[in-house]
Amino acid sequence: MKRHAETSRKLCIRRVSLSVCMAIVLTLTINVRVQADLPGQLGKGLGGAGKKLDRNAIRAEIEKARREMEQKHREMEKSRSKKSSRSTRKRSTRSRSTRKRSSSGRSTARSAFGYRVATGQKFAYSVQLAWKVGGVEKRIVGQPLYQVRYRNGKKSTMLVVGRFRHLRKKSGEENFRHLARQDYWLESVQNLESKNLGAGGHQAVGEVDLPYLMDEFVTLRQLVIPHLPYAEDGKEGKTENAVLTHSADGPTIWRGFTGSGSQGKSFSSVTAKPLGGSSVQLDTRRGFENKADNFSAVYASSGIFDKSRGLMERLRGTYTVVEGGQKLTVSIHVQRLYGEGLAKAKTTAQQNMQEMPSAALPVEAMRKPLASTYRESYSADRLPRQGTAVGYYDESMNQHFRAIYLGRRSDGEAKIQFSGSREIRYVRPSKMKQLGTEKS
């Protein structure tokens, strides 16, 4: 309002100044005309040369000139007003179009989908792969449990207890046998990003007995958390030349190359399609094909992603190998667990933790977590006695842990040892918390 009033005042001042200037110019113009040709030109206009000048006639001439000048001024103001109006309409149109593009951008942002989990959240899946070779039925089954320990922007760190059992049943046998020595453990620490599993984490333990070339196109952890395209109605894909070679390390597909080996095509595509509500269908197809040798290895799956929950709900797929006229098909089933199924997966995970190989067990999982009230932090001027239990907040896991204060280094940092894992760490004294009443 203040800005509008100031603008109006300036316009009024400009109009008054313009009127004053016009009056001065008009007076000067008339004086020049009267002095230059007063007996002739002005007299002719008032009734002919040689006639006596009439003051009233002069005033009438001045008034006529003033009206003409005012008329031109009004026309100029009218023209300026129209230009201003057109400019305002253009700015308004640009503003509306900008708002439209902006709202469209917000709509796109709202419709974007990706993995979304919360600190402390636990979720689990039932995973089963089944196929038959000769007279032997093979299965790989597991119920991996995920616990989100820390979130940093779009990246989440999860502790995973994922034990996969290899089962076999020969012709004539009634039940499947568990081959305990072939158990496979997923990476116990995994990093989840908005579209897929990220790099880093912890190593897997054991070797999974998957059919020929299958791990070139999909792994067990990718069955649970597959790669998502950018948009919920988008598609990503690529087809390129590739070479299949064999070495002591096993078969390898060299994508984007040509050379000695089995020449063929490598392809990969991921398509997302909204189904209404919060469900998005996710179709994946990856493989290698050499038509000259009548060889192909193809993984294809269709799953449902729940945008509201930020995770996959289920997935059904197959992996098919055709070689030498023979065909092998692996059926794949993945289902998220809820209720009793989730409770059973948690119990199974606790049991599996007791049998997890030391190489697979993350040290952090052995720490003793705390749920305590903290009086205050220690400082360099006020340290606890050696052997005192303190609290330490690990940002990477978003959790307080119990530790023992062991002393102070020459550089001023405090030496602590985590209870349970017995890890040694050096921290700033202010990172240690004085424990209150421990609740658990």
Per-residue pLDDT of the chain (440 residues; tens, 9 = 90+): 444 455 555 555 555 455 545 555 445 454 444 444 434 443 444 344 444 556 566 667 767 777 777 777 777 766 666 555 555 555 555 555 544 444 444 434 444 589 999 988 999 999 999 999 988 999 999 999 999 987 777 788 898 999 999 999 999 899 999 998 899 999 998 989 999 998 766 788 998 999 999 999 999 999 999 999 988 888 999 999 999 998 888 889 999 888 888 899 999 999 999 998 999 999 999 999 999 999 999 999 999 999 999 999 999 999 999 998 899 999 999 999 999 999 999 999 989 988 888 778 777 777 888 876 677 899 999 999 999 999 998 776 667 889 999 999 999 999 999 998 888 989 999 999 998 754 43
CA separation for the pair 202, 193 (Å, rounded): 16
**Type of residue numbered 394:** D
**Numbered ranges of CATH 2.30.230 in the chain:** 122-363
Helices and strands in the chain, H and E counts: 5, 21
273 and 281 in contact (C-beta within 8 Å)?
yes
Amino acid at 90: K
Give exposure, 420-431, as e/b (b: 16+ Cβ within 10 Å).
bbeeeeebebeb
Q: What is the CATH number of domain 122-363?
A: 2.30.230
Distance CA 101, CA 91 (A): 15
Q: What CATH number has the domain spanning 367-438?
A: 2.30.30.140
324 vs 293: CA distance, rounded Å: 8
The residues, any chain, with a CB within 8 Å of residue 431's CB and separated by 6 or more, are 377, 392, 393, 414
Would you list the DSSP string of 368-419? -B--EEEEEE-BTTB-PPTT-EEEEEETTTTEEEEEEEEEE-TTSPEEEEET
Instruction: Report the alpha-carbon distance of residue 61 to residue 58 in Å, rounded.
Output: 5
Q: What are 424's two structure tokens?
A: 């040694």
Q: Which two three-digit tokens encode residue 33?
A: 């005309």
Q: Residue 221: what pLDDT?
A: 92
Task: Identify the CA nearest to 307 among candidates 338, 284, 273.
Answer: 273
Structure tokens of 82? 């129209």
Q: For residue 120, give the nearest of 336, 371, 435 by alpha carbon.
A: 371
Nearest to 155 by CA among 123, 184, 183, 115: 115
**C-beta atoms surrounding 306 within 10 Å:** 16
Q: Cα–Cα distance between 68 and 305 in angstroms, integer?
A: 77
CATH 2.30.30.140 location in the chain: 367-438
Specify the pTM: 0.63
